[in-house]
Structure 1
């Protein structure tokens, strides 16, 4: 059943406004964009925190319990990072902004058409070991219909409430790097950077009001390629 049937529009608007207010913990003027040095030799990409109301939400409960996000597992047929947890997203096409690319990727991967007014904000850029600078785009998808995975790109689609990522991550030391590697607990397993780093910053900013930085957090060696 579509979320706009389960959750009345005034409740959805209330939840959207609460997320937007929480994002002011990291205002645009203080968002960390990648430097020219960080961007050298890397391609620009966007990932999305695509948010939906949890069925039955009232608008007044904890955001962690009333708002969900879209998480996918990448199709096994994909050449890069197949079978891994992911947020909808991909590289920018020529002339695109991160916001435009994020909305396009949401359409291509999970079938939701979201206009520019659905963009709630951006998180810090995250340079990856595999040659990208990722810009996380926060989108509100309530009332836009049901996400439908594109089987060419998405093997599985999940809509966990934010409470599923509201846990302290693990920080590991690895011999290949001086930076700590992050692991975010989810579904009894762990999500690594870059997805784990993006989820951790979103949790810190939106659920706890802390402008935590994550660009320094390391990825596991298997994600360096």
Structure 2
């Protein structure tokens, strides 16, 4: 479904986020380190549609090098997840937004590597300001919301190492796994008015460290 990048779409997405009830924070293990990622909504470059920003991490990074990811990172001491998400968006892509552009937050996702990730949905109207930081980002891509709303955008596979299913997002010729795929999938479900939980969706074994 086409979603023009306009005020009406912003209001509709904000309303969908407001109608979503997050899982209680006390259900997550207390030992996990807090982190945040951003689902930054902007205009698709090829047509009048709303897209979110997905990055390819720089190949020289110590952790998760060369992987697809939403902008984000670990919360600094004293930071809330929203504050961390906005800071990371500025550091990685040069987009300096305020709390006024935050449309909502989704469920915290616990990772196998010991993090609890909060997804923060923001409206990034000034996409011309995007300047990827080469120290962290190899490239940045605009993924139209219509892409993730296709029936074949995601699949779920079993692995012998877990009783939980691994979620995969099909992007061009790449397979993107959880946590990124799980968070994008939940956002897709929120847009459709479904309160689908994703904390039990598994990551591939290579991400368990």
Report the Cα offset of residue 83 of structure 1.
0.3
In the alignment, structure 1 residue 17 sits paired with structure 2 residue 11? yes
Aligned counterpart, 1:82: 65
Distance 1:34 1:50 in 2: 23
In the alignment, structure 1 residue 156 sits paired with structure 2 residue 139? yes
2:123 to 140, 149, 170: 140
Aligned counterpart, 1:219: 203
Deviations 1:155-180 (A, max 9, x none): 11101211221234211111111111
Alignment of 1:25-64 (within 5 A): 25-26=19-20, 30-35=21-26, 38-40=29-31, 42-54=32-44, 57=48
2:167 to 182, 185, 199: 182
Q: TM-score, normalised by structure 1?
A: 0.85
More strand by proportion, 1 or 2? Answer: 2
Structure 1 stretches of at least 4 aligned residues deviating more than 6 Å after TM superposition: none
Distance 2:98 2:176 in 1: 29
Aligned counterpart, 1:63: none
Distance 1:144 1:84 in 2: 22
Q: Which runs of 5+ in 1 are unaligned?
A: 1-6, 58-65
1:126 to 81, 104, 109: 109
Q: TM-score, normalised by structure 2?
A: 0.91
Question: Secondary structure at the residue paired with 2:56?
Answer: strand
Question: Secondary structure at the residue paired with 1:160?
Answer: strand
Report the Cα offset of residue 195 of structure 1.
0.1
Distance 1:147 1:37 in 2: 34
Equivalent pairs counted in the alignment come to 203
Report the Cα offset of residue 147 of structure 1.
1.2
Report the Cα offset of residue 146 of structure 1.
2.8
